Amino acid sequence: MNTFSIAIHGGAGTLVKGMMTADLEAQYKSVLKAALDTGYAILENGGTSIDAVEKAVIILEDSHLFNAGKGAVFTADETHEMDASIMDGQSLNAGAVSLISGIKNPVSLAKDVMEKSEHVFLAGEGAMQFAKMNAYKIEDVSYFYDEFRHNQWLEIKDTDSFQLDHATKKDSKFGTVGAVACDQNGNIAAATSTGGMTNKKFGRVGDSPMIGAGNYANNKTCAISCTGSGEFFIRGVVAYDVACLIEHKEMSLEEAANEVIHKRILEIGGDGGLIAVDAKGNIAMPFNTEGMYRGSKSSNGAEEVLIYK
């Protein structure tokens, strides 16, 4: 049997160490662990990597602690616009949605785009139409209200600034979420979900729903989910760049992931991190920020849930 494994992240923009209380740290870690265990149980029972990443991300989307689903940040119009994507490394099938609102679990909608449509990427009104056609319930805006997020927005709402994931601000509380997994058959998958950036406008879309930028999976190389300054991750085509270094430069998963996060993305001014898995169940989770909410669990016995370096 193939070594099976899963890794998850809750964003590379963690609270700075001084702001983190023991209680808050315990809350973050408990949700991360629940997501990890949910995904791992699916793999352990012989389930697919696609199901494992979707179900792990759902747990993170259902928590107000992370910037996805329930905890999605506010846009300049005081609304929520969410993005998500998912990719199957065996078939190279992929699904993505962008600029959606009222959907409790954007990752599931992305999966439905992959499985129930002829398309890869649906955005805005059309994506919402597709959701309604597939009997998605539209949640009331109150479901997505979080006082902390609202305060973050109030602080910058009348300015031109939008808040990056890795802001040096002391009270930064961000966190795109994602999962990558390798199942017992050696098939890998990746999923990413986000509310984007506080006070974003003009239909801004980051890297998270873009196949190749914030999310990618191919059994031949790796499955990747990114978190970071989206504009730079798009320009760096980060997720696919890791795959290319493995395929064309014959780097290991770890080498390729480190090269991109500690060198290539820094060179163009980006910050953040990623989680990666390959078809042998190896895992890498590099980041160039102070911390990254993350966890991994493998059938070889290794397990960790961490926030800082």
The closest alpha carbon to 260, from 233, 282, 241, 283, belongs to 241
3-state secondary structure 158-207: CCCCCECCCCCCCCCCCCCEEEEEECCCCCEEEEEEECCCECCCCCCCCC
Q: What is the CA radius of gyration of the chain?
A: 17
Interacting residue with ligand ASP among 85, 176, 218, 219 (CB under 6 A): 176
Burial of 24 (0-12, 13-18, 19+ CB in 10 A): middle
Footprint (CB under 6 A) of ligand ASP, residues 256-275: 272
d(CA 201, CA 23): 34
Residues with Cβ < 8 Å from 114, sequence gap 6 or more? Answer: 86, 87, 88, 93, 94, 95, 120
Q: How many Cβ atoms sit within 10 Å of the Cβ of residue 196? A: 30
d(CA 176, CA 64): 12
Give yes or no for residue 196 binding ligand ASP (CB under 6 A). yes
DSSP letter at 292 equals E
Tell me how far, at minimum, the Cβ of 262 lies from ligand ASP, in Å: 17
Look up 176 and say whether it is catalytic: yes
**Piece of 127-135, 142-150, 206-214, 262-270 that binds ligand ASP (CB under 6 A):** 206-214
Footprint (CB under 6 A) of ligand ASP, residues 4-43: 11, 13
φ/ψ of residue 192, rounded to 5: -140, 140
Q: From the candidates 14, 176, 192, 221, give the one annotated as an active-site residue.
A: 176
Nearer to ligand ASP by C-beta: 205 or 279?
205
Give yes or no for residue 228 binding ligand ASP (CB under 6 A). yes
**Piece of 104-112, 131-139, 190-198, 297-305 that binds ligand ASP (CB under 6 A):** 190-198
Nearer to ligand ASP by C-beta: 193 or 282?
193
φ/ψ of residue 116, rounded to 5: -115, 5
Tell me how far, at minimum, the Cβ of 18 lies from ligand ASP, in Å: 21
Interacting residue with ligand ASP among 197, 238, 239, 261 (CB under 6 A): 197
Cα–Cα distance list, 277 to 10, 53, 177, 190, 224 (Å):
16, 12, 16, 9, 7
Footprint (CB under 6 A) of ligand ASP, residues 44-73: 67
Give yes or no for residue 281 binding ligand ASP (CB under 6 A). no
Tell me how far, at minimum, the Cβ of 59 lies from ligand ASP, in Å: 17
Residue whose Cβ sits closest to ligand ASP: 230
**Piece of 113-121, 124-132, 141-149, 224-232 that binds ligand ASP (CB under 6 A):** 224-232
Nearer to ligand ASP by C-beta: 105 or 163?
163
Cα–Cα distance list, 6 to 85, 131, 162, 281 (Å):
17, 28, 32, 8
DSSP letter at 211 equals B
**Piece of 21-29, 131-139, 143-151, 228-236 that binds ligand ASP (CB under 6 A):** 228-236
Give yes or no for residue 206 binding ligand ASP (CB under 6 A). yes
Give yes or no for residue 165 binding ligand ASP (CB under 6 A). yes
Q: Which residues bind ligand ASP (CB under 6 A)?
A: 11, 13, 67, 165, 174-176, 194, 196-197, 206-208, 214, 227-228, 230, 233, 272
- Residues tagged active-site: 176
